[in-house]
Structure 1
């Protein structure tokens, strides 16, 4: 089943993101290589794909896991969590309907 991992950044997270981004992206690439990643990306703080110094307000990952517990475990091990990027992470079951 798919699960949505919805993360909210702490204020001023851009330097923390930059520092831990390579490890964060590597985990996402692994999900993609396993055919389990539906979509992933950040929420820009401004209404533009490149928000510059304004940074990001959070992230969304939708991926396939065996259970809610395994999705939560994966989310808890995110390098952005260890780096203090996220102030809150919510994991929910997700049903893909369209397209």
Structure 2
């Protein structure tokens, strides 16, 4: 089943994101290589694709896991969690309807 991992950043998270970005992306690449990643990306803090110094307000990952517990464990072990990027993470089942 797919699960949505919806993360909310702490204020001024950009410097923290930069320290752990490569490890964070590596984990997403692993999901992709396994054919389990539907979509992943950050939420720009301002209304543009390149927010510059404004940074990001959070992230969304939708990926396939064996269970809600497995999805939560994956989210809890994100390198962004280790460096304090996220202040809140919600993991919930996701059902694809369209396209």
Indicate the TM-score class for this superposition, using the shorter chain for normalisation: over 0.9
Cross-structure match for 1:79: 79
Cross-structure match for 1:8: 8
* Structure 1 spans left out of the alignment, 5+ residues: none
Cross-structure match for 2:22: 22
Q: Alpha-carbon deviations, 1:75-99, whole Å to 9, x = none?
A: 0000000010000000000001111
* Structure 2 spans left out of the alignment, 5+ residues: none
- What is the CA–CA distance in structure 2 between the aligned matches of 1:82 and 1:92, rounded to whole Å? 21
Matched, 1:98 2:66: no
Give the match's secondary structure for 1:11.
coil
- What is the CA–CA distance in structure 2 between the aligned matches of 1:27 and 1:48, rounded to whole Å? 26
CA-based RMSD of the aligned residues comes to 0.2
Q: Alpha-carbon deviations, 1:24-58, whole Å to 9, x = none?
A: 00000000000000000000001100000000000
Q: Return the offset for 1:16.
A: 0.2
Give the match's secondary structure for 1:97.
coil
Q: Return the offset for 1:64.
A: 0.1
- List 4+ stretches of structure 1 deviating above 3 A: none
Q: TM-score, normalised by structure 1?
A: 1.00
